[in-house]
Structure 1
Amino acid sequence: MTEDLPLTAEDVAEIVAILDASQYREVDIATRQFRLRIARGDGADAGFTQEWEWAGAGAALESAVTADEVVDPDAICAPLPGTFYHAPQPGAPPFVAVGDAVGPETVVGIVETMKLMNPVHAGRSGTVAEIVVPNATMVAKGEVLLRLA
């Protein structure tokens, strides 16, 4: 989608600061345009995750993808720009390895954007055939991170 997000990076950072100063673990904001969920991770140094969903995302986002854009149907791509990490924190085992079976909801990595950790889900079932991007690498939105078989 080429639309700009309805909130700026500063807006999201302010929401995170409010959440960080409270006892709440998450905030879920839904409008007619979008839904934003920000959640506190587990553990002292886990940080926060954010998930965006456009209103009517199911059909609208699928229909926005043209045949020309589907270059590699086995690719799992970065949902937004940032730093791609294979594990939830330094020293932890990676989310997935080559040969692992995954389902649509399996987290295969995280992309850190503006100090927020965004989970990357497989989106479909398969077996991890290749991990394309090295750990802690800057990625662009849409860049291939992994491939499934």
Structure 2
Amino acid sequence: MSFSHEDVQRLLQLLDSSHFDELHLEADGIKLSLRRGGAMAGLAPKAPVATPVTAASAPLPPSTLATPSTASIAAAPQTSGDASLLDVRAPMLGTFFGAPKPGAEPFVAVGGRVDANTAVGIIEVMKLMNSISAGVEGVVVEVLVRDGDLVEFDQVLMRVRPV
């Protein structure tokens, strides 16, 4: 396995759009370490460094979907002013896709009904597609991300009115 220029650029974008300062990746004997903002290499971190991306032991085709993960849900008051809405949040950082393939109908749309197991999108991390479930039953009121948007861990993807 080798990393192309595009792979490294993508990793740099993911790191830049996240709240992490470092990324360490090991795959098939290749080690890659990235640091944001010129973090000093000689200093040991005060806390363990979280690695947002892990490499699988064997590459998977882009069409492979990982086991569905449930997005986290928070019942905190919303910026839209409606405290009854729940946030469906990204369980990881990566590239969000709202449809199973380009040109297809989206998984969910405003006004659509979801239950806990309804797929609301896919987050791609290192060519691994992760299906994201709503984790709540209700009606989608607002979708806050578009296809191709880089999303961070715990970023609000959509808002749902519970039923």
| TM tier relative to shorter chain | 0.5 to 0.7
Query: What SS class does the counterpart of residue 9 from structure 1 fall into?
Result: coil
Conserved 8 A contact 2:68-2:131: no
How far does residue 4 in structure 1 lie from its aligned partner after superposition? 5.3
Deviations 1:5-28 (A, max 9, x none): 7xx723x1x3335xx6xxxxxxxx
Normalization by structure 2: what TM-score? 0.55
Q: How does 1:45-124 map to 2 (within 5 A)?
A: 47-51=63-67, 71=76, 74-124=86-136
Deviations 1:14-73 (A, max 9, x none): 3335xx6xxxxxxxxxxxxxxxxxxxxxxxxx61122388xxxxxxxx9xx9xxx76356
Conserved 8 A contact 2:95-2:125: yes
How far does residue 3 in structure 1 lie from its aligned partner after superposition? 9.2
Query: What SS class does the counterpart of residue 136 from structure 1 fall into?
Result: coil
Structure 1 counterpart of 2:9: none
Conserved 8 A contact 2:65-2:128: yes
* Higher Rg of the two aligned structures: 2
Structure 2 counterpart of 1:9: 54
Q: Percent identity?
A: 36
Whole-angstrom CA distance in 2 between matches of 1:52 and 1:76 = 14
Q: Which runs of 4+ in 1 moved over 4 A?
A: 2-5
Normalization by structure 1: what TM-score? 0.60
Whole-angstrom CA distance in 1 between matches of 2:137 and 2:75 = 17
Unaligned residue ranges in structure 2 (runs of 5+): 1-47, 78-84
Task: Output the amino acid matched with 2:114.
Answer: V
Name the Cα RMSD after superposition. 3.1
Deviations 1:55-112 (A, max 9, x none): xxxxxxx9xx9xxx76356000111000011101101110000000111000011100
Structure 2 counterpart of 1:143: 155
Whole-angstrom CA distance in 1 between matches of 2:107 and 2:68 = 21
Whole-angstrom CA distance in 2 between matches of 1:147 and 1:90 = 23
Structure 2 counterpart of 1:39: none
How far does residue 134 in structure 1 lie from its aligned partner after superposition? 1.6
Structure 1 counterpart of 2:14: none
Query: What SS class does the counterpart of residue 119 from structure 1 fall into?
Result: strand
Aligned length: 105
Of the three residues 139, 150, 161, the one matched with 1:127 is 139
